[in-house]
Amino acid sequence: MEDTSSSFSYLSSILFEETVDDFVESGHDPLIASLYQMDLDRAQFLLRSYLRVQLQKIEKFMCIRDIGKHLEETVLSKLPDNYQSVLKQSIISREDDMVPKPQLDTFVVAKCERATRPLYLDGSRQFASFDSRQFAILTSALLNNI
């Protein structure tokens, strides 16, 4: 699907370039030729930007499967069957006990990126609202509810 859309975009950009050249050569209004050229430049920019983002995603996530496979082949396959999970200490564990649960009763310092709606504190009638770029000390549990 992506190959088709990129091929279509490439072909349409070639046709657009020919159209711009035809307008310039035939003596049409330079404003129209300029508008076509701007639209062509915009389409090429969007196509290049899209392809750049796709390449960045491929580069970013290409190693994830390899690292997982490497971990399984080098470490986990050498362990007994009971201990081959990354998340559980043994087969009889029902929960993922290797991943620590966050402590929701601890305090954290938070900075608001934008103004918030009023937040009710600890189920009481008191509430607080925060402006953008304002710092606050809140519990982790309250931040999870935002």
Q: What is the pLDDT of residues 53-66, one digit of tens each?
A: 999 888 887 777 78
Query: What average pLDDT does this structure show over 91-108?
Result: 75
Residue 78 is given by DSSP the state G
Structural element, H or E, at residue 109 = strand 107-111
Angstrom distance (rounded) from CA 96 to CA 78: 21
pLDDT per residue as tens digits for the range 13-31: 555 667 777 777 777 777 8
In the prediction, which pLDDT does 53 show? 92
CA 33 to chain centre: 38
End-to-end alpha carbon distance in the chain: 38
Confidence at 121, pLDDT banded by 50, 70, 90: low
| Tokens representing residue 103 in the block | 């402590």
In the prediction, which pLDDT does 1 show? 43
Classify residue 109 by burial, with Cβ atoms within 10 Å: 0-12, 13-18, 19+. Answer: exposed
Residue of 52, 54, 53, 40 lying closest to 10 (CA atoms): 40
Q: Residue ranges of the domains in the chain?
A: 2-81, 107-144
